[in-house]
Chains A and B, each alone.
Chain A
């Protein structure tokens, strides 16, 4: 069955960096586009970033553009999110999600999430 397992979250000071990972299994990872979506405590869902199956097409939300970098390693069935210059407003649970590609795509499987807390 499809499994997505995020890791790498934790407490970081403002201005710091963190790298999130998402390990995929149960499907042919290299065939699928993937995305990161976050949820601040007690708030709604916010799309963060998106990467095509080959990694050639990448999109970012304006709120993270220039600070976050999405990447993938199809040989390792893994998705990554490098987060730099972190701010308090980046505090959230970060989910990786598989994209079912129809039009721009929607999210058919989600990981359990990893909590990122940005605080001094």
Chain B
């Protein structure tokens, strides 16, 4: 099974900061990676698919990159609405696997 590892687990940042979250796969998943945002008490929301494709309606300050085993989610200028937990997910092979999450907190 493919394992997904995110870093850091928690990130403290200020409004306007550039934020980068890393996700590593235990084996190559090509570009079959999605990113989700989850706020407390809410369902996850799809942000990015196929490593770098922005989901419709998602602000352009979110971007994704990477392929193979290393991927990044970048928020170019952190906004108050972006304080949340972010998860990566591989969909190269069964079983589907999520990273453990990265919580973005207010500094």
Contact = CB atoms under 8 A, between A and B. Distances in A.
Interface of A: 35, 44-47, 50, 59, 61-62, 95, 100, 102-113
Contacts of A105: 91
Given A106-B34, A107-B34, A108-B55, A95 B98 contact: no
Contacts of B95: 47, 59, 61-62
Contacts, number: 62
Contact of B91 (A59, A102, A112): A102
B98 A59 contact: no
A104 B43 contact: no
Given A102-B50, A106-B34, A44 B91 contact: no
Interface of B: 32, 34, 36, 38, 42-46, 49-50, 55, 87, 89, 91-101
Q: Which of B36, B50, B91, B97 has the most CB of A within 10 A?
A: B91
B87 to A, nearest CB: 6
Contacts of A102: 32, 49-50, 91
Given A112-B43, A113-B43, A106 B98 contact: no
Nearest to B38: A45
Given A62-B95, A107-B44, 7 more contacts: A45-B36, A45-B101, A47-B98, A102-B32, A104-B91, A106-B46, A110-B43
Nearest to B100: A44
A-B pairs, top 4 by smallest CB distance, nearest first, are A110-B43, A106-B34, A47-B96, A45-B98
Contact of A46 (B43, B46, B94, B98): B98
Contacts of B99: 44
